[in-house]
Amino acid sequence: MTEDLAIFIDWENIYISTVTEYGAKPNVSAILEKAREYGRIVSAMAYADWTDGDFRDAPPTLYSNGISPRYISARYFPGGRSQKRRTNSIDVMLAVECSDFLHTHPQVDTYVLVTGDGDFIPLVNLLRSRGKRVVVIGVSEATSYHLIETADHFISYSSLLEEERAVRAHDKELKKETADPYRELVRAVEVLKQSGKTRVLGQVKQQMIVQLGSFDERNEGFRKFKDFVVEAERRGLVNTVDQDLELHVYLPDEEVPETSESDLAVEDPKDAVALSTERPQGDGAVEPAELPAIQDFDLVEDLTSYELETICKTIASLQDPASSVEIFGGIRDLEERGELELTQEEIKEVIEAMLNAGYLTPVSTKPYKEAKANITFYTLDRGHKEVQAILEIQAS
């Protein structure tokens, strides 16, 4: 039986993206045609200030295609309409109505979000946590790569353009059949390097989608894109390194930057902290500094018992041992879902404090058998008194 699906379109976002990148308005028919591949459309809504000159001609076209325009009045900063416009109300209204639709239409299994705005990551997480499949359609060059990683499927708008489809159909299929995904990975890293862009996993996958029109690592036998990149590293095609709490991809002939001592991927974080409290003396001896250089974050004082329990339970649910990137991402997901209120810097401080307090124990091991060097992973010390108490509460 065909699944039901609902479409929510951030019209201002997709309009500005297509006009900027392709010099054309969004092709509504192409969007709907692609969405129907995932199920039967039971609801479709588009959000914008339809009184704006750029959007006022769109409602008739939307109506004729079965899409309901939702009017959201734009607000302006003081000083007149020439000032920068606030668009947050559009994002909020879309998220609120999508959440309401989730509860009132439990039979709908798939949600298609037409946007490139990374602010919708919490909405994607909410939908997926309720067992729904989330498909994002957006302009690759203007879509948050974190949003791409969070969604179940990402579809590049460029692959939907009807005027290109007739010409490119045969070539695209031939390209997919003959293209070497590992060679395309290397080419993607090269392109990002030449353009000076960040080469984190999501950005690399986004570039591969631009090159191939679409790419799904599951077609190559991998559950996650990270696993695909790890296999490419095993083959000597790329190198990866944990940097700024995200996995970056480099070419084999590049000099991979060393992780700083303040990074969570040092061989022994406790040793790094100990060294930071020492200072050299005139005779070359080392003695403790008068004031410790350790950060002031205190797990008990600065976190509520609920927050500490939630963080420990989240880390316990990760693969053991887990990388610093996975731990940081797990805690950041809590913040994005509204269960915690921590900045990125505070999340780093929490992880460092857990290391200092013995909640986390570093483990040096190879990420896979053929890896050339060990990487520091972290395991939750289930024998620690406080951790043990938290996990016993969870079990009960």
pLDDT of residue 254: 85
pLDDT of residue 271: 43
The domain ranges of the chain are 4-163, 179-250, 269-395
In CATH, the number for domain 4-163 is 3.40.50.1010
Q: Which residue positions in the chain have pLDDT lower than 50?
A: 79-87, 163, 167, 260-295
Q: How far is CA 342 from CA 325, 332, 334, 336, in A?
A: 16, 8, 9, 10
pLDDT of residue 322: 83
Q: How many residues does the chain have?
A: 396
Residue 390, judged by CB atoms within 10 A of its CB (0-12, 13-18, 19+), counts as buried
The CATH number for 269-395, chosen from 1.10.287, 1.10.150, 2.60.40, 1.10.10, is 1.10.10
* pLDDT tens digits, 102-111: 999 999 999 9
In CATH, the number for domain 179-250 is 3.30.420
pLDDT of residue 289: 38
pLDDT of residue 356: 87
The Cα 245–Cα 326 span in angstroms is 9
pLDDT of residue 39: 93
**Does the predicted TM-score (pTM) go above 0.75?**
no
pLDDT of residue 100: 95
